[in-house]
Structure 1
Amino acid sequence: MAYDNRDDNLKETYLSGEDIYNGAIMRVQKWEVALPDGKKAEREIVLHHGAAAIVPLDERGYITLVRQHRVAIDEFTWEIPAGKLDYAGEDPLSCAKRELEEETGYKASNWLKLANVVSTPGYCTERISLYLATELTKSEAHPDVDEFLYCKSIPLAQAVSDVLTGKIIDLKSCLGILMAERMLRDLTVPLNATGFYADSGYLHG
């Protein structure tokens, strides 16, 4: 968005930082910042390399989701395939291609960038690149040794419904699914009676 000079009255300025925790996928630091009114404050910040997430859409209009148990919330979730960048500065598309094949066994010939988003800007530096992957071919999944998951494919329209009814709660998945559906809808004419977008080849549901 365009610069607004009122933003000058909001800006916090980094002064110094120290490590609190340095782990395998993130670092946590305590920062001292200068507030707009000249006072100082402390912020606890999670430093993260970033991630990539993929909406894999096949020729039927189905997307593939991944089922996992997320111990932090002690819930089983349906999510779009995703994974963290292996290192700071890794090409997000390379990460997306790797994670799609590892988690689902699919390779895609066509990739479209949907968005770059921040997950929790209040305290984390993570940025997630969202992609739509099409023209899929099946190979063999090979998840990381500490990943336990399985996949299912459902119509994109059902996935949208699952987002809106709270069956899919993972934020990157919600956004990726809704953006993919909206983009496909905007690029094509209204649905015909069979559920196909006319002249598109994409199934809506």
Structure 2
Amino acid sequence: MDTLDAIEQRRSVKQYDSSVEMPEEDIQRLLDLALLSPTSFNIQNWRFVVVRNPEQRKRLRAAAWDQAQVEDAQLLLVLCGDLKSWDKDPARYWRNAPEAAQQQIVPMIGEFYTNQGEQTQRDEAMRSCGIAAQTLMLAAKSMGYDSCPMIGFDPQQVAELINLPDDHAIGLLLAIGKAAAPARPRGGQLDKDEVVVTDRFA
């Protein structure tokens, strides 16, 4: 599917055909594409928890207000951010770059995130999760799957269920699979004039 078509046709689907099995090669292809998502300073601070165990799915469904797509979709991901990835051997993020680039960029990583503080570190992780989620959703649509990004869950319960490390944060859940029913009609898009500003707000 053309990228522009995927953008236009992607919808948040709530009902999935649980009888369909997603081939492992499709799962790995989606994950490989997600790893191409951009991150600031190339710190690759997203972490993808692939939830495969049926009992774990049931527990997560309970933590997500009993939303059926958590259990019925072929693939369930918990997108998390490593808040301290910038401080974990940052040279590895640039190991294939020319030496001059490494010497310039790697020291900037620690300096930037240290000076900007914890709020920026968290904001950066959430931005990265959002970008990766969009990559996954458009890739899934292009491959013939639908998806549903989710913030409707108890973050503390989900954190406990996935044994989230202390220096990580949950961005969202993402269900991907074969739709059992189409998405509801679009609720109402705002006019471009309301959301697009030229140069500065009035």
Q: Does the pair score TM above 0.5? A: no
With structure 1 as the length reference, what TM-score do the two structures score? 0.24
Greater fraction of residues in strand = 1
Task: Name which one, 1 or 2, has greater alpha-carbon Rg.
Answer: 1
Greater fraction of residues in helix = 2
